[in-house]
Structure 1
Amino acid sequence: MMRMAMRMSLGDARQVVRDPVLLMSMLAPLLMALVIRLGVPFADGLAEERIGISLLGHEPFLISFLLSATPLMLGLLIGFLLLEERDEEMLAYLAITPLGKIGYLCYRLISPVLLSVIFSLIGFLVAGVEAPDALHLWPVLLMLALEAPLLALMMGVFAGNKVEGLALSKAAGVLFVAPVVAYFVTGPWQWAAGVLPTFWAVKAFLASGVGESVYWLYIGVGIPFHALLLVLLVKKLNAKGS
């Protein structure tokens, strides 16, 4: 089973390198981290000189946006791979291999979680920003990482092919609204974004090291919310016969 998973990983890597869209989905988080490290200080000088606004004062927002974008981009990548394998009727073949349908689904859901955690940690290093302490960092990274399989499952459930998947990926852009709302909107209206799973992860990150009780409240709500959505989407995917 491990050998089959390794072969699939190598096949995925070759497919990503050949497809510009998939390759950009993989590289986008690292490019965003580079922009934060190199582009923001330059833009900050211009903004402060011309309009009197300091971008560096909003570093928590920029990092929260990067952290939420990382699993979403990886989720899109895995979702497109899932749809391509469905179009090529690879799922029927994989179902009779030692990996099996359950093993295949586990591979497709766990791999983006691991990649998301790794890319998020690399993102801190590339962006040159200090990460929160381990106690506050790992729950946030776990919650964020769960968004990668969530988006991949959404594409598998609601898209019938890669064309529909492309349209759905554009609609998924609403998930990028969460960091904006979580950071800039105050008062009761901000909770309207609570229907977006990314909202709880971003709120937890912004509260890390600031308010202990509030931080753990966001973690306590966010992780079960992500888990519930995952269970519902897996059931729908199985019911769809994928």
Structure 2
Amino acid sequence: MNKYRYLLVHDLRHAVRDPVLMVGFFGPIALLVVSRFGFPAAAEGLSRSSSFDLYAYSSFTGITLAITIPMLIGTMTGLLMLDERDEGLISYYAVTPFMRRGYMLYRLILPMGLAVSLSGIYLVFSGLLELQWGNLAVLILLALEAPCFTLFLAAFAANKVEGLALSKISGLFIAGTIVVYFVPGVWQLLGTWLPSYWIAKVYFGIEAASLIRVSIDFGIGLTYHLALLFMLVKVFEKRAD
């Protein structure tokens, strides 16, 4: 455990020195504050000025922001991996007691753990989402989303500059909630390749109390996330060699 404690301390020191990486820590907190206090204020203001009911979109807003949390965490840890690759640390870790497998395990568990804790806090305290036991299924998918974002950057970006550019493009991946909420009927199939699509499908299925549909969507979403994670690990390992 000491070797993983060393990596954790190294990550914390690195993140404190880099404002970009600090967004991964403070971004989810900012989203929680906006959801808890900013959304009700905006809803009341719109209701008085134009009779527009923003609360009708509270679930859509809540699940979209919830999906943003693992994206922020994954971006932070992905940029950390790019820094380590640029500095030759990944090759160094491969010949130490960490070994490459231990390093990869740590780099997958860290974003998952952060995503579980921060996303769980958001689901409970945002005030925009219904509290149901079924949200545990949503939390599982959110936890898998974080390492997928991490490895997406680490596998396809050549350096940290490219990683920052890709992180902006990867923000488009949260569009799955838009597809589920606004796109009608069979046209929703266009969004099935987006991981966030399955998270939104599960959450809205829970709201509709469609347990059979939720079970099917969760099964597909879980399989898709695990397959995507496996593929990204393989691509990263080839890139790191």
- Please classify the TM superposition score into its range, dividing by the shorter chain length: over 0.9
Which position in structure 2 is the counterpart of 1:187? 185
Shift of 1:131: 4.9
What CA distance in whole angstroms lies between the structure 2 residues aligned with 1:128 and 1:6? 35
Question: Does residue 60 of structure 2 align to residue 56 of structure 1?
Answer: no
Q: Decide whether the 8 Å contact of 2:63 with 2:129 is kept in 1.
A: no
Aligned CA RMSD, in angstroms, stands at: 1.4
**How far apart, in 1, do the equivalents of 2:137 and 2:123 lie?**
16
Could you tell me how far 1:203 is from its partner in structure 2? 1.1
TM-score, with normalisation over the residues of structure 1? 0.94
Structure 1 stretches lacking a partner, 5+ long: none
Matching of residues 15-26 of structure 1 within 5 Å? 15-26=14-25
CA distance in 2, matches of 1:55, 1:196: 26
1:24-75: per-residue Cα shift (whole Å, max 9, x none)?
1221112111111111111111211222211122211122012211111100
Kept in 2: contact 1:34–1:126 (CA 8 A): no
2:101 is equivalent to residue 102 of structure 1 = yes
Paired residue for 1:168, among 163, 166, 179? 166
Give aligned-pair identity as a percent.
Answer: 35
Mean Cα deviation higher: 218-227 or 54-63: 54-63
Q: Which amino acid aligns with 2:198?
A: W
Give per-residue Cα distances to partners, 1:181-207, cap 9 Å, x unaligned.
222222122221111011101110121
**Match in the other structure for 2:155:** 157
**5 Å matches for 1:4-153?**
4-129=3-128, 131-134=130-133, 136-153=134-151
Task: Please give the secondary structure, in 2, of the residue aligned with 1:98.
Answer: coil
Residues 68 and 198, structure 1, Cα contact 8 Å, conserved in 2: yes
Distance 2:165 2:132 in 1: 38
Question: Which amino acid in 2 is paired with 1:206?
Answer: F
TM-score, with structure 2 as normaliser: 0.95
Count the aligned residue pairs: 240
Q: Distance in 1 between matches of 2:110 and 2:130?
A: 23
Structure-2 residue corresponding to 1:201 = 199
How far residue 168 of structure 1 moved from its aligned partner, in angstroms, is 0.7
Cα distance change on mapping 1:177 and 1:129 into 2, 3 Å = closer
Instruction: Tell me if structure 1 keeps the 8 A contact 2:71–2:149.
Output: yes
Give, in whole Å, the separation in 2 of the partners of 1:168 and 1:130. Answer: 30
Q: Where does structure 2 lack aligned partners over 5 or more consecutive residues?
A: none
CA distance in 2, matches of 1:87, 1:239: 16
Q: Secondary structure at the match of 1:195?
A: coil
Q: Provide the residue aligned with 1:177 in structure 2.
A: 175
Q: Deviations over 1:213-239 (max 9, x none)?
A: 111111011000011111111111112
